[in-house]
Amino acid sequence: MPIMDIREFGAVGDGSQVNTIAIQSAIDACFGDGGGTVLVSGGRYVSGTIVLKDNVLLQVERGAALLGSTNIADYAADTHKNMYRDEPHMDRCLIFARHASNIGIQGGGVIDGRGGRENFPNPDDPAHYRPMLIRFLDCHHIRLRDITLRDPAAWTSAWLYCSDIVVDGVTIHSRANWNGDGLDFDGCREVRVSNCAFDTSDDSICLQTSRPDMPCRDVVIANCIFCSQWAGMRIGLLSRSDIFNVTVTNCVFRDIQDSGLKIQLCEGGEMKNMVFSNLVMQNVPRPLFVTFCQQRACVDAPPGVAPMKAMHDLIFNNILVDNSQGDRHSAMILVGMPRHPIENVLLSDIQMVTGGGGTAEDAARALPDLDLEQLGGVWPEYTSFGRAVPCYGIYAAHLQGLTIRSAHLRTREKDERPAIFCQDVAGLELDGIRLGNRPMIGNSLRLVECPDAAIRLDFPLNSRTI
């Protein structure tokens, strides 16, 4: 297969000249020859929007960099759009592909969006555009390997309705601007992400569905390290179609400011068949934040909210959490809605220490339901509750079929709240729950409206409310 060096098409790697035409000419020539490699080496090459085509591999060599132009006029206006409502300023991108097969980016080099707030939005840009780094639309057989992606002005990448995806050995550093998501898979199938490191200003990985006819399914994520100003992984929010068959294993979540695993069904799809195992979380206030409610998030969704469908069969196993430096806003949270429970959830082999500091007043107050009136048009976030959770370990409301097995929960400082608070949980099973190393006297467990609860605990209860 041919190798097309962009320098042979007039590209200059001086970090100043804009090389969009030269790089696109190399891609077009490679495509015209039936495919091959477009080589970026020996310099720092500035570019606006380039379009990958069938059978073309973009190879950014070690020591070389592809730099995004800091002039929004160099970015094409026909690269599809961002699928969240009220965010058209993120419609443009640096690297784009549409209906392409057998494409990839690799090489050990750097793709740098130069998207800091000093550059984007451009001062004279009335639309306040902040281009993404990569967007793939309706593509098949995509490989992203051994590359560093850094400093996009918006998301690092959006993968829409794509299939047969491998992302391996990729480093993403995305803190130069707002909304710095890492990998966003929307309606994608057969996704494998492994051996990657994320440091992002927003969700590091997202699984979502913006089209009712395009589910997100068959996703494997392994051996990754997550660091984020928001969530390590978000599944849902955009959830107009089903999301299922997902495994996440052998990962580290560190210094996450919002949630480690943020799983949110709200736009009418179904979520099921997900396993999360062998995870370490350090300085993560909410290791799990799982919600089932109603909200309109997608730009193409009709007015109003979609009927609620189902969220079920989730397993969380072998999770170690050290949030001992955190405050009273730390807990695992799973919340459905009255008459619309999250079903069949297993939490097993959990070891968690939190900072503590909860008061008796915190313990006495249940959280409000995440209904439309409470949400007030915003996303279902922890702040939507308006108060600290009434426990320091696991809070569950509106579930059917919840098993918590072999959990060791403790706090660093005194905490007047129970370890576990369950409200409207049918078919609750607690087996082998331990508390230790915490200077607390008071309720250890509080159950409200929990019929058919089966409880076997490894510590004495001071009191229990059922």
- Amino acid 371: pLDDT: 64
State how far the Cα of 338 lies from the Cα of 317, in Å rounded to an integer: 27
**Per-residue pLDDT, 375:** 65
Could you tell me the CA-to-CA distances from 129 to 77, 98, 154, 230, 457 in Å, in that order?
Answer: 11, 21, 9, 22, 55
Which of 250, 249, 245, 231 is closest to 290 using CA atoms? 231
CA–CA gap between residue 416 and residue 188 (Å, rounded) = 45
* Domain contains 298: yes
The closest alpha carbon to 105, from 179, 156, 154, belongs to 156
Pairwise CA distance, residues 358 & 88, whole Å: 41
- Helix (H, G, I), strand (E, B), or coil: what is residue 8? helix
Q: Which residues of the chain have pLDDT under 70?
A: 371-377, 436-443, 458-466
Nearest to 119 by CA among 46, 64, 172, 58: 46
DSSP 267: S
Residue 125 DSSP label: -
What is the C-alpha separation between 269 and 284, in angstroms, rounded? 28
Tell me how far CA of residue 125 lies from CA of 121, 305, 448, in angstroms.
7, 33, 54
Assigned domain for 10 exists: no
Predicted confidence at residue 459, as pLDDT, reads 56
Cα–Cα distance measured from residue 79 to residue 75, given in angstroms and rounded to the nearest whole number: 9
Give the residue numbers spanning the domain of 352.
Answer: 203-465
Q: Is residue 124 in a domain?
A: no
**Residue 124's CB: how many other CB atoms inside 10 A?**
7
Q: Is 238 helix (H, G, I), strand (E, B) or coil?
A: strand
How far apart, in whole angstroms, are the C-alpha atoms of residue 292 and residue 267?
A: 9
Residue 373: the pLDDT is 56
What pLDDT is stored for residue 440 in this prediction?
Answer: 43
Q: Which residues contact 372 (CB under 8 A, 6 or more apart)?
A: 294, 295, 305
DSSP-assigned states of every residue in 323-387? ETT--TT--EEEE-BTTB-EEEEEEEEEEEEE-----HHHHH-PPPP--HHHHTTS---GGGG-S
Question: How many whole angstroms separate alpha carbon 389 and alpha carbon 402?
Answer: 19
- State CA 14 to chain mean position distance: 36
Q: Residue 342 in contact with residue 316, Cβ under 8 Å?
A: no
Is residue 63 included in any domain, yes or no? no
Non-local (6+) Cβ contacts of 426 within 8 A are: 341, 399, 400, 401, 450, 451, 452
Q: Burial of 183 by CB count in 10 Å (0-12 exposed, 13-18 middle, 19+ buried)? A: buried
The conformation of residue 308, written as its DSSP 8-state character, comes to: P
Residue 387 belongs to a domain = yes
Beta-bridged to residue 295, according to DSSP, are none
Rounded Cα gap, residues 216 and 318, in angstroms: 25
Q: Is 333 part of any domain?
A: yes
Per-residue pLDDT, 456: 81
Q: How many CA atoms lie within 13 A of 138 on its CB side?
A: 5
The answer to the question of residue 29 being in a domain is no
Rounded Cα gap, residues 19 and 16, in angstroms? 9
Q: From the CA atom positions of the chain, what is the Rg in Å?
A: 24
Q: What pLDDT is recorded for position 442? A: 44
Q: Is residue 116 within 8 Å of residue 71, measured between CB atoms? A: no
3 state SS for 36-58: EEEEECCCEEEECCEECCCCEEE
Instruction: Note the residue count of the chain.
Output: 466
320, burial (CB in 10 Å: exposed 0-12, middle 13-18, buried 19+): middle
Q: Looking at the domain assignment, is residue 321 inside a domain? A: yes
The one-letter code for the residue type at 211 is R
In the chain, the number of structural domains is 1
